[in-house]
């Protein structure tokens, strides 16, 4: 089944982890044996080859660079200009992948339709389609920079990531969006960019919903019902997004899937983390909406974690193909399954870009 993954940090892996994503997952793992600079070395799950193997022909691919003030303990860049430059380097990597036929940027309805038709054709090596998204807006030095990004192909943006940001408060922080945030949201709406509500803290989330009227989705966000943490969405937040015809992508970071995960100590096996928890999150959103139209896949695989913090029954991203059978066993129809695996996000894009 064709899959759209709504959140992959591909360029971050290429530039900060120095992974050549044109290699196989196995080759990348082999090259990292003995490396200790990052906890997921030799445990990666994503490559472009693995995406093709799993028929993941379209993704939302990120630019990400946090600007941190001197008082912050979070990793990041010391100025917004440095953060901007990092996102430009990431964009250059995507363009380099386009140059060798590995990827293709999708920015409008015509390109989307053409790409989907290509992937329905005979089995030959096809480019992975990507919709460019900015995770955390701290690298937007001025509103003019957002317009520059739009002209470079940016089509989705999340105002915050972790901690207090320039335009909103994100995960593990508390606060609103302020004047800068409202100005950003107005420009997002004007450009018809997709607002990614992922990572907004509760206060910033509700303040955003009061003033923003454009298209909104949550690329990688699970349910607070299962893990009671501010990174997840409460039922009230999920219902708000459903009322706006949003789609919520379910993520595969283990600490978001089970309670009491201890980073660096817990293991997927000891905590019973499998794709089953993804099915539970999908089903919960379907029960809240009364249909299968508001949920999809947004794995965040290799988003600074690997197999040490992924479902135990997933070796590479190609194993997302296990999900359709799991949904069928849960009683979901073929149409429902198609919606969840790709059609909900595809139809969202068609509505937004039409």
Name beta bridge partners: 301: none
Q: How many degrees, rounded to 5, is the angle at CA 124 between CA 13 and CA 122?
A: 130
pLDDT band at residue 350 under the 50/70/90 scheme: very high
C-alpha 47/C-alpha 63 separation (Å) is 17
The total of other beta-carbon atoms located within 10 Å of residue 335's CB is: 10
Look at residue 163 in the predicted model and tell me its pLDDT.
Answer: 93
Number of H helices, E strands in the chain: 14, 9
- Cα–Cα distance for residue pair 199/206, rounded to 1 Å: 12
Q: How far apart are CA 290 and CA 276, in angstroms?
A: 20
In the block, tokens 């979901």 appear at 332
Which domain covers residue 244, as residue numbers? 4-353
| Averaged pLDDT, 325-330 | 98
**Rg, C-alpha atoms of the chain:** 19
pLDDT at 71 over 90: no
Confirm if 230 and 220 have CB atoms less than 8 A apart: no
User: Hey, which residues does 157 pair with through a beta bridge?
Assistant: 134, 195
CATH of the domain at 34: 3.20.20.140
Please report which helix (H) or strand (E) contains residue 196, including its range.
Answer: strand 194-196
Does the structure show a pLDDT above 80 at 123? no
Q: Residue 60 in contact with residue 219, Cβ under 8 Å? A: yes
Determine the Cα angle at 320 with ends 317 and 321, to 5°. 125
> Quick one: average pLDDT of 243-271?
97
Reported in sequence order, the residue ranges of 127-191 that DSSP labels E, i.e. its strands, are 128-135, 154-158
The pLDDT score that the predictor gives to residue 146 is 98
| Chain centroid to CA 117 | 24
Three-state DSSP class for 163?
coil
Please check whether residue 136 is in contact with residue 163, taking contact to mean a CB–CB distance below 8 angstroms. Answer: no
Looking at residue 74, its pLDDT comes to 87
Cβ atoms 302, 56 nearer than 8 A: no
What mean pLDDT comes out for the span 322-331? 98
The pLDDT of residue 139 is: 96
> Given this model, what pLDDT does residue 72 score?
84
- What is the rounded CA–CA span in Å between residue 80 and residue 2? 38
What pLDDT does 122 receive?
A: 85
Averaged pLDDT, 111-137: 95
- Per-residue pLDDT, 202: 98
Q: Tally the domains of the chain.
A: 1
58 — phi, psi (to 5°)? -150, 135
């Amino acid at each position: 089944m064709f899959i759209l993954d709504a959140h992959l940090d591909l360029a971050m892996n290429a530039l900060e982890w120095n992974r050549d994503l044109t290699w196989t997952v196995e080759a990348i793992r082999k090259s990292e044996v003995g490396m200790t600079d990052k906890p997921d070395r030799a445990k990666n799950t994503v490559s472009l080859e693995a995406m093709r193997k799993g028929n993941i022909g379209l993704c939302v691919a990120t630019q990400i660079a946090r600007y941190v003030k001197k008082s912050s303990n979070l990793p990041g860049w010391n100025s917004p200009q440095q953060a901007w430059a990092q996102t430009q380097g990431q964009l250059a990597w995507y363009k380099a992948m386009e140059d060798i036929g590995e990827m293709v940027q999708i920015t409008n309805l015509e390109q989307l339709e053409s790409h989907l038709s290509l992937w329905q054709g005979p089995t030959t090596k096809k480019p992975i389609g990507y919709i460019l998204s900015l995770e955390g807006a701290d690298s937007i030095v001025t509103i003019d920079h957002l317009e520059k990004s739009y002209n470079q192909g940016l089509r989705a943006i999340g105002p915050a990531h972790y901690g207090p940001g320039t335009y909103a408060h994100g995960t593990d922080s508390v606060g609103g969006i302020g004047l800068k945030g409202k100005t950003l949201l107005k420009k997002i709406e004007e450009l018809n960019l997709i607002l990614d509500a992922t990572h907004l803290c509760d206060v910033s989330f509700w303040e955003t919903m009061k003033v923003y009227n454009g298209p909104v989705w949550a690329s990688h966000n699970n349910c607070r019902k299962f893990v009671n943490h501010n990174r997840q969405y409460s039922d009230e937040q999920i219902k708000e997004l459903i009322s706006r015809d949003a789609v919520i992508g379910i993520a595969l970071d283990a600490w978001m899937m089970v309670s009491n995960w201890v980073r660096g100590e817990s293991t997927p096996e000891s905590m019973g983390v499998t794709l089953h928890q993804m099915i539970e999150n999908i089903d919960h959103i379907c029960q809240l909406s009364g249909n299968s139209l508001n949920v999809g896949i947004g794995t965040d695989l290799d988003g600074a974690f690997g197999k040490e913090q992924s479902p135990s029954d997933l070796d590479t991203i190609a194993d997302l193909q296990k999900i359709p059978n799991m949904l069928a066993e849960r009683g979901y129809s073929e149409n429902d399954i198609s919606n969840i695996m790709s059609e909900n996000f595809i139809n969202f894009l068609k509505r937004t870009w039409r």
